[in-house]
Amino acid sequence: MKIIHCADIHLDSPMESKLNKEKSKKRKNEILENFKTMVEYAKKENVQIIIIAGDLFDDTRKNMLKGTQRYLINLIKENEQIDFLYVKGNHDLNNFLENEEVPQNLKLFEQEWKKYNYGKITISGTELNQNDPSVFDKLMLNYEDYNIVILHGQIDKAVNPKDKSEIIYLNKLQNKNIDYLALGHIHKREEGKLDNRGIYCYSGCLEGRSFDECGEKGFYLLEIDDGKLIKKEFIKHSIRTIHNVEINISDIENQNQFENKIEESLRFIPEKDLVRITLIGNYELNKTEEDYIDIEKIQNKYEDRYFYFEVKDNKKVIINYQEYKNDISLKGEFIRTVENQELTDEEKSEICLTGIRAIFGGEI
């Protein structure tokens, strides 16, 4: 039996924080298209089960999702040879099937453990609620089965205090005969050992939506035969990839070197993708105006090449303002004026840096 494990599809995600209205709509449609092509892949590869480990949708405003809901229900009905096992996540609708007939091949879970049996394979799941650890004590699984458990939440070893999602206590799931713990919520692929028998896997999202979701995206494909896992493979499946490219400019002396370094870093990135250049390192401002790097020029050069492009300036600007002290120039006069003030050395350095950046035409 072949099984797909996916999660965090986030259908109807607004996608408007970085993109214009036209591109936002395009990306929104691409997320739905990606899910459809994954189902088509499943049909072609004779996959019998698609596990959706939460956050199929991105919002609880059901009036915004009506068209997507109808499309999704029809897609499930049209692929009746595949069972869709769906655990809701923290972004999902509570009643997306309201006033709709539930397709026979859509298998849902509740806030109590529920199991679906496929020969020697048992798939269990529950919708976590209110971070009650006792829910894990109620899970009972047969030793003889190949047991898959579906949950949506954040594993306890990586809890982020700002993250209000439900916590998955791995220690409470150990030694319960779990073979594969199919997780959703973390948008980056991750896997690890659960206990001597089982593993846990976050499939990540199908399609990156922001610059904290960079890299390869897709789903897991499992092949199980006679109650044993014979193959586990991550299938890359995103329409576009999001890249954050760090450029250390500490050794850059002029604009030409700057442009060459960026061009080299972008050489293998497809033009259909989304790209952020992040500038890091120390940049010394004791240069001529001709050597001052022009970030706006880079932005203008590449913004039409890629689906989206931006430069994030995280470099640290340093300056030895004493080198300008005796200049017969506006810079020199400015430095001498600051030097005569009753300020600490740290205050003088900060004021000089701000002033000279302004003179060079840099951001303040």
Q: Domain check: are 214 and 259 in the same one?
A: no
Q: Domain check: are 246 and 228 in the same one?
A: no
Q: Tell me what the pLDDT averaged over the chain comes to.
A: 87
Ramachandran region of residue 293, left (φ > 0), alpha (ψ -120 to 50) or beta?
beta
Q: Domain check: are 133 and 253 in the same one?
A: no
Please report the pLDDT score of residue 364 as a whole number.
39
Q: Domain check: are 176 and 250 in the same one?
A: no
Average pLDDT over residues 286-291: 54
Task: Kindly tell me if the per-residue pLDDT of 40 is higher than 70.
Answer: yes
- Residue 257 CA to residue 261 CA, distance in Å, equals 6
Task: For 204-241, list the strands marked E by DSSP.
Answer: 218-225, 228-236
Q: Domain check: are 215 and 259 in the same one?
A: no
Task: Give the domain range for residue 107.
Answer: 2-236
* Domain's final residue, options 236, 253, 277: 236
Task: Kindly tell me if the per-residue pLDDT of 257 is higher than 50.
Answer: yes
Q: Domain check: are 59 and 109 in the same one?
A: yes
> Residue 201's closest CA among 182, 186, 217, 216?
182
* Domain's final residue, options 216, 236, 256: 236
Q: Domain check: are 307 and 231 in the same one?
A: no
CATH number, residue 197: 3.60.21.10
Global confidence as pTM = 0.85
* Domain's final residue, options 203, 236, 269: 236
Q: How many helices (H) and strands (E) does the chain have?
A: 7, 19
Residues 184-236: tens digit of each pLDDT: 999 999 999 999 999 999 999 999 999 999 999 999 999 999 989 999 999 99
Q: Domain check: are 161 and 227 in the same one?
A: yes
Please report the pLDDT score of residue 74 as a whole number.
93
Please report the pLDDT score of residue 237 as a whole number.
95
Please report the pLDDT score of residue 164 as a whole number.
57
- How many separate domains does the chain show? 2
Please report the pLDDT score of residue 36 as a whole number.
97
